[in-house]
Amino acid sequence: MRLSAATAILFAGLISGCSSSSSLDTIAPPSRETTSSVAMSAAPVPAANVGARVAQMTPPQNVQSAPPQEMLAWAGPVPEPEAFAPAANTTTTLAAPVPDARPVAFVAPENPVTQAMPQGRSRIYGHRFRDAKPINFGRAKNPRKMAVHGVDVSRWQADIDWARLRTQGANFAFIKATDGGDHLDPMFKKNWRAAKAAGIRRGAYHFFYWCRTAGEQADWFIRNVPREPGALPPVIDVEYNGESSCKRRLSPERVREKMQVFMDKLEAHYGQRPIIYTAPDFYADNLQGAFKNYPFWLRAVAQHPSIVYPNRKWLFWQYSGSGLSQGVDGKIDLNVFHGSEDQWHDWLEARAN
């Protein structure tokens, strides 16, 4: 779920370094495991029709970019700035990123009016995904034998046929929403609406940026992700990203402190305890033994989570970054819920109460 590579030369004149003078700050190495959300080339970004419902925003004079003393939240290509001033019933299209401009913060309504996800026990579709790089996890630990499968997506999956994707086994989806304090994934609004229309239970995730305050990032996520009945808990994505312009490496204590601030604000707003998504290297350095009362979503694309994350209870497992499915062009991340169909429905019902 990490961000795309950005050419350092293009950023040299635009973004000042964010490294700290502290002895704790070192260059963060990229994770040894990658998923399809890590775009390794500058792929074209599809225009996203965000629709009339979410296009009502404040006039341009009220739009503020991030404070000049802080690093830009977007760790990949910098989107082209736009003057957001649509009328109430117009449609807004987000532009493809260009490397020589600073983004203007996308300001959506604080609490957009949304329709509730249909309640009740929805149909569970069996696994029909394929894998470009299949892994033998062993007969007893094969994720394909688990009951409830799902996906996670971002801009890099482009236009998705969500109805078709559901029939292939996408019973849930985690959708990239924001990162840092001023970047909105240009496909989020479209994916959020379309996944719901297809009957897929979905939640939003935030890529945490270590050169931005936790409070600002929580406010940005809350501003852009609706508080909607039936939605899955919000997700904080914490991992190393060696391709980011932010090279700050914090102490484990500081990492957990910032995460706690962010998660407390989201839990107070959405009424659900956030899910923590992480990768093996980041977990080993910062999260072992921490946050025992939080649900974890673990990336383990080479071995079972019980081997990669010993003694850690988990709720979701991202087992592939090279999935293939009807309804999506290219690769997609594949996930499973840790439980039976009945346990899945019970967990959903507990979230709705």
Tokens of 70: 């802080």
Going by C-alpha positions, the residue among 147, 81, 162, 142 that lies closest to residue 332 is 162
What pLDDT, on the 0 to 100 scale, is given for residue 245?
A: 78
Number of CB atoms found within 10 A of residue 216's CB = 18
Q: Are strands 130-131 and 316-324 parallel, antiparallel or unpaired?
A: antiparallel
CA quadruple 77, 83, 89, 91: dihedral positive or negative?
negative
Q: What is the DSSP letter of 87?
A: -
Q: Which two tokens stand for residue 343?
A: 């346990």
pTM of the predicted structure, to 2 decimals = 0.70
Q: What is the identity of the amino acid at 280? A: P
Are the C-beta atoms of 171 and 162 separated by less than 8 Å? Answer: no
CA-only gyration radius of the chain, Å: 19
Q: Report residue 199 as tokens.
A: 């009957």
Six-digit token string for 14 = 């635009």
The residue assigned the tokens 């799902």 is 150
Pick the CATH number of 130-352 from 3.40.50.300, 3.40.50.2000, 2.60.40.10, 3.20.20.80: 3.20.20.80
DSSP strands (E only) in the chain: 130-131, 149-153, 172-179, 183-184, 201-207, 235-238, 275-278, 296-299, 316-324, 332-337
Q: Of 226, 9, 36, 11, nearest to 131 (Cα)?
A: 36
Question: For the chain, what are the domain ranges?
Answer: 130-352
Active site residues: 152, 239
Q: Which residue positions in the chain have pLDDT lower than 70?
A: 1-120, 353
d(CA 325, CA 131): 9
Name the residue type at position 214: A
Q: Other C-beta atoms within 10 Å of 312: how many?
A: 17
Distances (CA, A) of 115 to 176, 189, 325: 20, 14, 28
CA pair distance 190, 187, nearest whole angstrom: 6
Under 8 Å between Cβ of 144 and 320: no
Q: Tell me, what's the pLDDT at 119?
A: 55
Q: What is the pLDDT of residue 243?
A: 72
Q: C-alpha angle with apex 11: 10 to 13, nearest 5 degrees?
A: 95
For residue 173, the cross-strand partners are 151, 202
Q: Are 129 and 334 in contact (CB under 8 A)?
A: yes
pLDDT at 197: 97
Query: Which is nearest to 161 in space by CA: 344, 341, 332?
Result: 332
Dihedral sign, Cα of residue 93, residue 99, residue 101, residue 106: positive
State residue 349's pLDDT score.
92
